[in-house]
Amino acid sequence: MKTDIILAGVGGQGILSIATAIGVAALKNGLHVKQAETHGMSQRGGAVVSHMRISDKAIFSDLIPEGKADLILSIEPMEALRYLPYLSETGYIVTNTTPFKNINNYPELEAVLNKLGSLKRVVAIDADGIAEKIGSKLSSNMVMLGAASPFIESIELSSLEQGIIELFTSKGQKVVDVNLSALRSGKEFAEKTLN
Amino acid sequence: MQKVLLGVEAIAQGAIDGGMSGVYAYPGTPSTEITEYIQHNKYAQEKKLHSMWSANEKTAMESALGMAYAGKRSMVCMKHVGLNVAADCFMNAAITGVNGGMLVTVADDPSMHSSQNEQDSRFFGKFAQIPVLEPSNQQEAYNMGYYGFQLSEKFGIPVMIRITTRLAHSRSIVELKEVIKENDLKLPSDPTQFILLPSIARKQYKKLLANQVNFEKDSEESQFNEYFDGADKSKGIIACGITYNYLMENYPNGCPFPVLRVGQYPLPRKQIIQLTNETDSILVLEEGFPIVEESIKGYLEKENVSGRLDGTLPRDGELNPDIIGKCLGLKVQKGDDIPELVENRPPALCIGCSHHDVYKALNEVVAEFGQGRVFSDIGCYTLGALEPYKSINSCVDMGASITMAKGAADAGLIPAVSVIGDSTFTHSGMTGLLDAVIEKTPITVIISDNESTSMTGGQESSAVGKLEDICKGIGVDPNHIHVIIPVPKNHEELKNLIRDEMNYNGVSVIIPRRVCVQKNRRDIKIRKAQNA
């Protein structure tokens, strides 16, 4: 089984923490992983993308070919649309609805959300709102990961939880708990949307 | 033991495990993480392996050569354009040869994700006539860091490892090998080996030339060059480095054509001849310049060889599985197009960054003198070229802001202004400033000092705490060296300062100094953690 994920966002939003949590979980399951990241100039508020590939067989390319991604996981709504050429015919989009406006010509948010709404298999989630309810705005990325988790079939939720525990243990039990609860809230939201 | 590592980290771990005594480098995307990994590696810290940043790539290369002179294993790392800075030492290190093993690890950036050009360092390897290794995956990157020293010592020659952005910044699982002990301190057996007086250099050069056939033989036997047979002989494919993965991505059940995977140069002649004899035509897949294609294609183009040179593949930019699939006539299934409403999102200066204050003031003052006179440099402040500031008129190479301003002033564009960062100034700006001081050229140098090498992630800047003294030492009149805190409330003061110094008929230096906002945030976190 193979899962190809495009992780999208804006430099500084922390898509790499999501990637790391998935990566740790994949390794726990004895899967092969390749994860191409964006470092450098774009990290200063530019569009950033990470190609994450998980498989039980050896993986060749570090880049996902166009039309082959099973999932676009974006923490910014316009950025989700930027990678549509990569999405497969049966792939899902899981995106945050909070825009990150650091450009003057950012399109009307309504138009962006309408465009997303017109596509099939989209989970649009107010990750920031949910994170705030849980009590930590900073955990919105883990809400996103939770919302994406039903579409990463090769990895069990418990492995993702294990990944989060490893990622945040150094920051204390409270941070671990908040992020775990963020993960579960995201998952619940996605499942509700699907049903 | 297994670890999940970026391609560049894998090289670092390989070098540590391969018995390296020290790494020398100046930060540059996509090579920076090699040195950072070694700086944070526990074993490297325990063994006190050298890992402090150098002032620039040339000083780094020379230090690495010095370590190799003393019989120990050294590595120097840089991005592709850094090799231009270090080229003097690099070319001559091929003539001196080495005593302990020396790896020159260069990270190329095809598609210019974070660079001003996409030069191919394999060209430099060929120019210096030394062996070049090019990994196709993270495990190979590790293996090359590990075995590279042995190859280097086998022939007493520096060995280049060339990696490109994609593999540099992609993570995968790497199986680690047993740690090799560092070399003992040992002087070269020939005490004249490193003295490149013409009479000695001629002898050393003959040695290098005589070794070429051995380098080629080693390539033919190398684990990094592999021949895979295929039933369909209508085409033979030479896949260099990471392109092998892009090729195989298109053939999940195996490639029907014979494939030669190349990871060590000079090219393995035996296998190239086998491939050309057994197949009707050759397709060359290589990231960067069409170096392999050019070298196996005769001048008269009688051979049936295709690749990036003849236009079968695009001549510039990064390759990927789609480009290679299309070139092989395979069907590529693209998803939907990008909707029209999606706008570009270029990088920008961080909110609260001190460069904002500098450019705001500079723009207003330059408008009084007329446009087209601001020369800038490589760093975060290069983003001043974009909206909303559009302040700068040049960005060429490290340090060029000062010397280009000088040349323009010599031509009569007076006053000319240079905008350079603190770390870029100590990298390559100081010597240019000396030129201007000697000739009393009317230029105003703004060292926009954020006390950090920020574009590459906030590494220590060699300039911290030294700028005023350096400028004084070089001979700038202390009355024309000014330090100011670039914040909105000092806007008018900064403007006046810039205006006054632009009116001054000589060299002046203005140092707007405020720590990088990202570095500041990280420092606060570190302090909090220490107090907790």
The string of pLDDT tens digits covering residues B139-153 is: 999 999 999 999 999
Q: Which CATH architecture has domain B2-217?
A: 3-Layer(aba) Sandwich (3.40)
Task: Kindly report the nearest CA distance between residue A131 and chain B, in angstroms.
Answer: 22
Nearest to A65 among B167, B322, B350 (CB): B322
Among chain A residues, the shortest Cα distance to B252 is held by A60
Structural domains of chain A, count: 1
pLDDT at B442: 97
Q: How far apart are CA B470 and CA B111, in angstroms?
A: 37
pLDDT at B19: 98
| Domain at A185, CATH number | 3.40.920.10
Q: Mark yes or no for CB contact B335/A87 under 8 Å.
A: yes
pLDDT at B293: 95
Matching CATH number, B354-519, of 3.40.50.970, 3.30.70.1450, 3.30.70.270, 1.20.1080.10: 3.40.50.970
Q: In the structure, what pLDDT confidence band is assigned to residue A135 with cuts at 50, 70 and 90? A: confident
Above pLDDT 70, what percent of chain B?
A: 99
pLDDT at A166: 87
pLDDT at B95: 96
Q: How far apart are CA B160 and CA B157, in angstroms?
A: 10
- State the average pLDDT over residues A124-140: 91
> Is A30 part of the contact surface with chain B (CB cutoff 8 Å)?
no
A vs B: CB pairs below 8 A: 157
Q: Which CATH architecture has domain B226-327?
A: 3-Layer(aba) Sandwich (3.40)
Nearest to A102 among B6, B339, B348 (CB): B348
Q: Which of A43, A44, A103, A113 to mutate to test the interface with B (most CBs of B within 10 A)?
A: A44
In a domain, A160, yes or no: yes
pLDDT at A14: 83
- State the average pLDDT over residues B473-497: 98
In a domain, A102, yes or no: no
pLDDT tops 90 at residue B530:
no
pLDDT at B413: 96
In a domain, A153, yes or no: yes
Chain A residues near residue B32 by CB distance under 8 angstroms: 39
pLDDT at A151: 93
- Each residue's pLDDT tens digit, B246-262: 999 999 999 999 999 99
pLDDT at B382: 95
Cα separations in angstroms, B258 against A62, B168, B269, B271, B297: 23, 28, 16, 11, 19
In a domain, A30, yes or no: yes
pLDDT tops 90 at residue B356:
yes
- State the average pLDDT over residues A86-99: 96
Is pLDDT larger for residue B475 or for residue A165? B475
pLDDT at B472: 98
> Is A29 part of the contact surface with chain B (CB cutoff 8 Å)?
no
Q: Mark yes or no for CB contact A39/B30 under 8 Å.
A: yes
Nearest to B249 among A27, A61, A82 (CB): A61
B136 exposed, middle or buried (CB, 10 Å; 0-12, 13-18, 19+)?
A: buried
Q: Which of B36, B342, B378 to mutate to test the interface with A (most CBs of A within 10 A)?
A: B342
Among chain A residues, the shortest Cα distance to B333 is held by A67
Chain A stretch 51-70, residues whose beta carbon is closer than 8 A to a beta carbon of chain B? 51, 59-63, 65-69
In a domain, A85, yes or no: yes
CB atoms within 10 A of CB B371: 11
Chain B residues near residue A43 by CB distance under 8 angstroms: 347, 457
Q: How far apart are CA A83 and CA A81, in angstroms?
A: 5
Please, what sign has the CA dihedral across residues B157, B428, B40, B2? negative
* Of the candidate ranges A38-47, A49-58, A180-189, B353-362, the one whose mean pLDDT is the lowest: A38-47
Q: How far apart are CA A118 and CA A110, in angstroms?
A: 12
* Of the candidate ranges A188-192, B129-133, B528-532, the one whose mean pLDDT is the lowest: B528-532
Q: In the structure, what pLDDT confidence band is assigned to residue A21 with cuts at 50, 70 and 90? A: confident
Task: Kindly report the nearest CA distance between residue B350 and chain A, in angstroms.
Answer: 7
pLDDT tops 80 at residue B324:
yes
> Is A34 part of the contact surface with chain B (CB cutoff 8 Å)?
yes
Q: Where in chain B is the domain with CATH 3.40.50.970?
A: 2-217, 354-519
Q: Which of A5, A33, A39, A110 to mutate to test the interface with B (most CBs of B within 10 A)?
A: A39
- State the average pLDDT over residues B221-240: 97
- Each residue's pLDDT tens digit, B500-513: 999 999 999 999 99
pLDDT at A16: 86
- Each residue's pLDDT tens digit, B261-294: 999 999 999 999 999 999 999 999 999 999 999 9
The pLDDT mean for chain B works out to 96
Tokens of B529: 């953690």
Q: Mark yes or no for CB contact B348/A106 under 8 Å.
A: no
pLDDT at A45: 86
Q: Is the previous residue joined to B266 through a cis bond, with omega within 30 degrees of 0?
A: yes
- State the average pLDDT over residues B163-189: 96
In a domain, A147, yes or no: yes
pLDDT tops 80 at residue B301:
no
Chain B residues near residue A107 by CB distance under 8 angstroms: 341-343
- Each residue's pLDDT tens digit, B366-399: 999 999 999 999 999 999 999 899 999 999 999 9
Q: How far apart are CA B185 and CA B388, in angstroms?
A: 56
Tokens of B176: 């680690």
Task: Kindly report the nearest CA distance between residue A153 and chain B, in angstroms.
Answer: 20
pLDDT tops 80 at residue B302:
no
Tokens of B143: 């293996």
Chain B residues near residue A62 by CB distance under 8 angstroms: 166-167, 170, 172, 242, 245
CB-based contacts of A90, cutoff 8 Å, min separation 6: A70, A121
Nearest to B4 among A33, A42, A85 (CB): A33
pLDDT at A170: 87
pLDDT at A4: 96
pLDDT at B191: 93
- Each residue's pLDDT tens digit, B2-12: 999 999 999 99
Above pLDDT 90, what percent of chain B?
A: 94
Task: Kindly report the nearest CA distance between residue A77 and chain B, in angstroms.
Answer: 10
- State the average pLDDT over residues A1-26: 90
Show the domain range for A33: 2-97+107-194
